[in-house]
């Protein structure tokens, strides 16, 4: 509706803007509106198509890991499989359980679908582009509170799952929904806390500012290694992917919260899961892997903002994104699901205290390094001393954490909290019983 009105206005504006053409001033007014609409359309389309291709990638990777070939009949190498699946799901009958509470049953898929998509709005996905109307920022919405927005929206996703579980009026769905709420609430805390260390280093919550800080200093993954580890594990839990897919748990809860859903409603949960994966990967890239930064060069962070620079940075961003998406799938087809008590103890007894302690340590280290006036900018051999010092501290911490984790006190068989003597007694008892059973009668 706004578009037809805006185009003549823009054509009139064109002459004016052309006179004051400054490639470094962000676009304003009508061109800004048009560019934003354009970016919205492109990002939405790319995510929807990308999600469709991700379902194919998931099936292909699972097949390869299991020494199979995967879908290869529809289109070249199975490339049209997502289209066939989509068509099938659109044509399918929607079933509505009699006992379901209809308004929420219909609302729930939308509630999980929408937050999953709109989270991506603040992610800067490439270097800005100079056009004849000014500088175009390459994120749908360049919010100054970017990261807080993500935390706020990402936590909305749990509503879709909980409401789906409750409104289905099915015991398995309800269990799935309950598990999901418990899981997401517990891991969200660790996730937010882990990201605080990034904010401490950047001194800003806006995502472009965080990317800029990493371009100047080097990627955050090294100086904030533990933070990355916590964030990574928590985002696996947040997206309900294996090994944290307790809300779905096919083998225990027959697909959990979406047991009662069919056709396109089920697809919406599926799309939500995959777009959550995309957003979580994009966040990991932005917060810890320099966003659209090309490593080893300053060429990409300085004007002029040409089309080539835009294309290359976009390619690097997508490359990093794809790596994390692959990691998600790789882990899914490797690890078994956590037991519920293991999940909770990992979240509350390990991740949360670790994240809290890590904020204190990072804050203290940043303070001390700043007091010692260790330079943040790149000094020798393209390395920033500040970055290196924090990195070494993190390596030491990582060694400690992994030694503690590796001792298995946190995640261990249910009987490992018994003393060896007790375990031996239990085993003797059970072997005696089976011996008696075999000799009996």
Q: Which residues of 89-106 are buried (b: 16+ CB within 10 A; e: fewer)?
A: beeeeeeebeebeeebbe
Question: Least distance from C-beta 228 to other proteins, angstroms?
Answer: 15
Q: Which of 52, 411 has the CB closer to other proteins?
A: 411
Q: Which stretch binds other proteins (CB under 8 A): 48-56, 65-73, 352-360, 378-386?
A: 65-73
Question: At its nearest, how many Å lie between other proteins and the CB of residue 278?
Answer: 21
- The whole-angstrom separation of Cα 142 and Cα 210 is 12
User: In the window 106-135, what residues touch other proteins (CB under 8 A)?
Assistant: none
User: How many angstroms separate the first and last alpha carbons of the chain?
Assistant: 86
For the residues of 146-186, what is the DSSP string, one character each? Answer: HHHHHHHHHTTHHHHHHHHHHHTT-HHHHHHHHHHHHHHHH
- By CB under 8 A, the count of residues binding other proteins is 27
What minimum distance in Å lies between the beta carbon of 406 and other proteins?
Answer: 5
Structure tokens at 342: 């293991």
Taking the complex as a whole, how short is the minimal distance between the CB of residue 343 and other proteins, in angstroms?
13
Stretch that binds other proteins, among 40-48, 173-181, 333-341, 382-390 (CB under 8 A): 333-341
Computed on alpha carbons and rounded to an integer, the radius of gyration of the chain in Å comes to 25
Candidate list 8, 307, 375, 408; residue touching other proteins; CB under 8 A? 408
Q: Least distance in Å: CB of 423 to other proteins?
A: 5
Of 406, 414, 421, 441, the one binding other proteins (CB under 8 A) is 406
**Out of 1, 15, 20, 66, the residue judged to bind other proteins by CB under 8 A:** 66
Question: Can you list the positions of beta strands (E) in 60-159?
Answer: 129-131, 134-136
Residue 430 within binding range of other proteins, rule CB under 8 A:
no
Site for other proteins in 176-195 (CB under 8 A): none
If binding is defined by CB under 8 A, does position 333 make contact with other proteins? yes
**352 CB neighbour count, 10 Å cutoff:** 18
Q: How far is the CB of 430 from other proteins (least distance, A)?
A: 13
Question: With respect to other proteins, which residue has the nearer C-beta, 331 or 378?
Answer: 331
Options 11, 40, 102, 335; binder of other proteins; rule CB under 8 A: 335
Q: Which of residues 113 and 338 has its CB atom nearest to other proteins in the complex? A: 338
Instruction: Decide whether 297 or 430 has the Cβ nearer to other proteins.
Output: 430
* DSSP line for 357-389: HHHHHHHHHHHHHHHTT---S--BTTB-HHHHH
CB distance 316 to 125 below 8 Å: no
Among the listed ranges 99-107, 181-189, 196-204, 403-411, the one in contact with other proteins (CB under 8 A) is: 403-411
| Sign of the torsion angle spanned by Cα atoms 38, 41, 44, 47 | negative
DSSP calls for 276-326: HHHHHHHHHHHHHS-TTPPTT-SGGGSS---HHHHHHHHHHHHHHHHHHHH
Nearer to other proteins, 63 or 264 (CB): 63
From the CB of residue 23, how many other CB atoms can be counted at a distance below 10 Å? Answer: 16
Alpha-carbon span 311 to 270, nearest angstrom: 30
String of contacts with other proteins for each residue 410-429, x by CB under 8 A: xxxx-xx---x--x------
Q: How far is the CB of 207 from other proteins (least distance, A)?
A: 30
Which helix (H) or strand (E) is 92 found in, with range?
none
Cα(221)–Cα(232) distance, rounded to whole angstroms? 11
Of 336-355, binders to other proteins (CB under 8 A) are: none
Cβ closer to other proteins: 21 or 330? 330
Q: Which residues of 307-341 are buried (b: 16+ CB within 10 A; e: fewer)?
A: eebbebbbebbbebbeebbeebbeebeeeebbeee
Q: 3-class SS at 111?
A: helix
In angstroms, give the least distance from the CB of 348 to other proteins: 17
Q: Applying CB under 8 A, does 64 fall inside the site for other proteins?
A: yes
Tell the smallest beta-carbon distance from residue 419 to other proteins (Å): 9
| Residue closer to other proteins (CB basis): 263 or 411 | 411
| Window 371 to 390, contacts with other proteins (CB under 8 A) | none
Q: Which residues contribute to the site for other proteins (CB under 8 A)?
A: 61, 63-69, 330-331, 333-335, 402, 405-413, 415-416, 420, 423
């Amino acid at each position: 509706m706004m578009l037809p009105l805006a185009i003549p206005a823009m054509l009139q504006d064109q002459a004016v803007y052309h006179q004051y053409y400054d490639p470094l001033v962000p676009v304003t007014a009508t061109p800004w509106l048009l560019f934003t609409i354009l970016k919205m359309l492109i990002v939405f389309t790319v995510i929807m198509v990308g999600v469709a291709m991700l379902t194919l990638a998931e099936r292909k990777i699972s097949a390869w890991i299991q020494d199979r070939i995967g879908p290869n009949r529809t289109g070249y190498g199975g490339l049209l499989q997502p289209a066939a699946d989509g068509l099938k799901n659109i044509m399918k009958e929607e079933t509505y359980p009699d006992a379901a509470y209809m308004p929420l049953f219909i609302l729930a898929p939308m509630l999980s679908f929408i937050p999953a998509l709109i989270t991506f709005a603040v992610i800067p996905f490439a270097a800005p582009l100079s056009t004849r109307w000014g500088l175009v920022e390459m994120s749908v919405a360049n919010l100054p509170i970017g990261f807080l927005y993500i935390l706020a929206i990402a936590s909305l996703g749990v509503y879709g799952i909980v409401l789906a579980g409750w409104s289905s009026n099915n015991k398995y769905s309800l269990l799935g929904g309950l598990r999901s709420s418990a899981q997401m609430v517990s891991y969200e805390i660790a996730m937010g806390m882990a990201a605080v260390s990034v904010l401490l280093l950047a001194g800003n919550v806006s995502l472009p500012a965080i990317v800029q800080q990493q371009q100047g200093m080097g990627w955050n993954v090294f100086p904030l290694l533990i933070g990355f580890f916590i964030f990574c594990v928590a985002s696996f839990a947040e997206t309900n992917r294996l090994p944290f897919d307790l809300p779905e748990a096919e083998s225990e809860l027959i697909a959990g919260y979406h047991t009662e859903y069919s056709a396109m409603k089920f697809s919406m949960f599926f799309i939500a899961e995959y777009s959550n994966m995309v957003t979580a990967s994009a966040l990991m890239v932005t917060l810890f892997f320099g966003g659209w930064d090309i490593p080893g060069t300053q060429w990409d962070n300085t004007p002029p903002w040409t089309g080539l620079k835009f294309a290359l940075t976009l390619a690097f961003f997508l490359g990093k994104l794809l790596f994390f998406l692959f990691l998600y799938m790789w882990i899914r087809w490797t690890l078994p699901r956590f037991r519920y008590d293991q999940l909770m103890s990992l979240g509350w007894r390990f991740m949360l205290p670790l994240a809290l302690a890590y904020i204190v340590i990072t804050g203290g280290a940043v303070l001390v390094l700043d007091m010692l006036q260790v330079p943040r900018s790149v000094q020798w051999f393209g390395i920033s001393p500040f970055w290196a010092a924090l990195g070494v501290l993190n390596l030491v911490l990582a060694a400690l954490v992994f030694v503690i984790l590796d001792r298995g006190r946190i995640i261990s068989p249910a009987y490992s909290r018994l003393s060896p003597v007790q375990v031996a007694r239990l085993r003797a008892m059970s072997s005696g019983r089976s011996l008696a059973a075999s000799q009996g009668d």
